[in-house]
């Protein structure tokens, strides 16, 4: 797998800024602008929540009409602009008008992302100020841009990766994302902007982003809730001169994009609200991949499983019970369950077999408890039915999660 850097140095033809516009009252950065010096081929994946926010509606409309000529993405925090009716859509469109005027491009070349409290209208005075300040400070401060899109996140999430194509040319892929709560698949609750200086067709961009997000952003769970605003965008401006023109190059690009998205997705789980444990769930032996994913999601969203991890209680019965109610007819007599300390996929020599042939094994309770108390734990459930497998990354459910969400609006 491609080596992903934890910083972003430079991606040809792109500039960014992160500023304090006034959406947040405490002076924190709260507005980001990502700008390409030339038009971008752009693809997006969006929430499947029926209560879609105004920016989601607008961005899907823009990509349906103008996917090969996007120049900028504006991101605000502090207000989701969700469940805001026609006024919310009007304010989203006004945002693109102002950005277009400031940058010298058409409004339909601008996309918008919003995150924050549902049901409040955008503060357009803050928006105007944010656009002006960001436009004046465009550069390569990706850390500031990543920081400016955080809500309950405790740290910025960003990364980059290089790809060498078959003809020896090289391109860069980089991305920033945010997310800590309301994290569930289809789409995972988050915002993400991924850029590349490679030249892509609209078809390749869409295929690559769908493939990458399907194995990464759609494989994470913090709490099982899905937001109204989830969006990940891929913008490709071709400024490096490297062009994805063969099946081999598309495969290499998609692999690198997937590696970057995996890093960003896992960062979201590690920074989940109140999280103390990072859990890798690997389901094998299911009838097909969809069934394996369904089983993994059921385990990942189980409050009883998640609280057991928080307490360091090796209550394996909760895992098996969750798998059994996932809607997939798995046979208990063929199912096996292992746990391993750390982050692994499958089993290792250090894995502990807890359950097989419909019964618990003669494992050491002391050993199993010690494994559950690690900061990272891996679960491998083999259903003994077929070739379907899936990996989902999740976490525990702590007291702090309840505290954070008990007074989120205040």
DSSP-derived secondary structure for 120-172: ----HHHHHHHHHHHHHT-BB-HHHHHHHT-SS-SS-EEEEEEEE-TTS-EEE
Q: What is the pLDDT of residue 313?
A: 85
Give the residue extent of every domain in the chain.
14-270, 278-406
Tokens encoding 156: 């910025």
DSSP class per residue in 210-249: HHHHHTTGGGB-SSS---S--EEEEEE--TTS-B--SHHH
Q: What is the pLDDT of residue 186?
A: 54
Task: Check: CB of residue 177 under 8 Å from CB of residue 270.
Answer: no
Tokens encoding 26: 């405490």
The sheet carrying 359-360 orders its strands as 359-360, 352-356, 336-341, 376-382, 278-286, 388-395
CA distances from 259 to 38, 217, 344, 396 (A): 26, 11, 16, 24
Helix, strand, coil percent content, the chain, rounded in steps of 5: 35, 25, 40
Q: What is the pLDDT of residue 1?
A: 73
Active site residue 189: yes
Q: What is the pLDDT of residue 147?
A: 95
Q: What is the pLDDT of residue 225?
A: 58
* pLDDT of the chain, 410 residues: tens digit per residue: 789 999 999 899 999 999 999 999 888 999 999 999 999 999 999 987 788 899 999 999 999 999 999 999 999 999 999 999 999 999 999 999 999 999 999 999 999 999 988 899 999 999 999 999 999 999 999 999 999 999 878 889 999 999 999 999 999 999 999 875 544 455 545 789 999 999 999 999 999 999 999 999 888 887 655 677 888 999 999 999 999 999 999 999 999 999 999 999 999 888 877 788 999 999 999 999 999 999 999 999 998 998 899 888 899 999 999 999 999 999 999 999 999 999 999 999 999 999 999 999 999 999 999 999 999 999 999 999 999 999 999 998 877 777 766 665 44
* Domains 14-270 and 278-406 alike in fold: no
How far apart are the C-alpha atoms of 322 and 316, rounded to whole Å?
10
How far apart are the C-alpha atoms of 29 and 26, rounded to whole Å?
9
How far apart are the C-alpha atoms of 334 and 204, rounded to whole Å?
41
Q: Which of 42, 189, 216, 301 is catalytic?
A: 189
List the helix and strand counts (H, then E) for the chain.
11, 14
Which superfamily, per CATH, for 278-406?
ArgJ beta chain, C-terminal domain (3.10.20.340)
Q: What is the pLDDT of residue 410?
A: 40
Q: What is the CATH number assigned to the segment(s) 14-270? A: 3.60.70.12
Task: Check: CB of residue 130 under 8 Å from CB of residue 150.
Answer: no
The pTM of the full predicted model, rounded to 2 decimals, is 0.92
């Amino acid at each position: 797998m491609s080596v992903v850097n934890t910083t972003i140095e430079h991606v040809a033809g792109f500039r960014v800024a992160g500023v304090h516009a006034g959406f947040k009252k405490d002076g924190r950065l709260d507005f980001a602008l990502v700008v390409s010096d030339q038009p971008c081929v752009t693809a997006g994946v969006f929430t499947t929540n029926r209560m879609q926010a105004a920016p989601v509606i607008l961005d899907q409309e823009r990509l349906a009409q103008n996917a090969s000529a996007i120049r900028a993405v504006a991101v605000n925090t502090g207000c989701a602009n969700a469940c805001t009716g026609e006024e919310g859509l009007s304010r989203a469109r006004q945002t693109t008008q102002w950005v277009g005027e400031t940058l010298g491009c058409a409004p339909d070349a601008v996309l918008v992302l919003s995150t924050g409290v549902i049901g409040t209208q955008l503060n357009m005075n803050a928006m105007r100020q944010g656009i002006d300040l960001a436009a004046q400070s465009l550069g390569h401060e990706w850390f500031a841009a990543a920081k400016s899109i955080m809500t309950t996140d405790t740290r910025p999430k960003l990364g980059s990766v290089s790809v060498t194509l078959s003809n020896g040319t090289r391109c860069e892929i980089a991305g920033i994302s945010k997310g800590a709560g309301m994290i569930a698949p289809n789409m995972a609750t988050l915002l993400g902007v991924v850029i590349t200086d490679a030249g892509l067709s609209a078809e390749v961009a869409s295929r690559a982003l769908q493939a990458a997000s399907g194995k990464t952003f759609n494989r994470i769970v913090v709490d099982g809730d899905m937001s109204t605003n989830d969006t990940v965008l891929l913008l490709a401006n071709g400024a490096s001169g490297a062009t994805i023109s063969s099946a081999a190059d598309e495969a290499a690009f998609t692999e690198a994009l997937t590696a970057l998205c995996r890093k960003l997705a896992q960062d979201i789980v590690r920074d989940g609200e109140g999280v103390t444990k990072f859990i890798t769930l690997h389901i094998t032996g299911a009838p097909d991949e969809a069934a394996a994913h369904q089983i993994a999601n059921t385990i990942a969203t189980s409050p009883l499983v998640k609280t057991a991890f928080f307490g360091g209680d090796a209550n394996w019965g909760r895992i098996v019970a969750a798998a059994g109610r996932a809607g997939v007819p798995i046979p208990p007599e063929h199912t096996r369950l292992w746990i391993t300390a750390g982050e692994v996929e499958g089993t290792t020599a250090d894995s502990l077999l807890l359950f097989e042939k419909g019964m618990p094994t003669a494992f050491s309770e002391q050993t199993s408890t010690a494994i559950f108390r690690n900061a990272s734990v891996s679960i491998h459930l083999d259903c003994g039915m077929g070739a379907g497998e899936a990996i989902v990354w999740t976490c525990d459910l702590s007291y702090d999660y309840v505290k954070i969400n008990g007074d989120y609006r205040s």
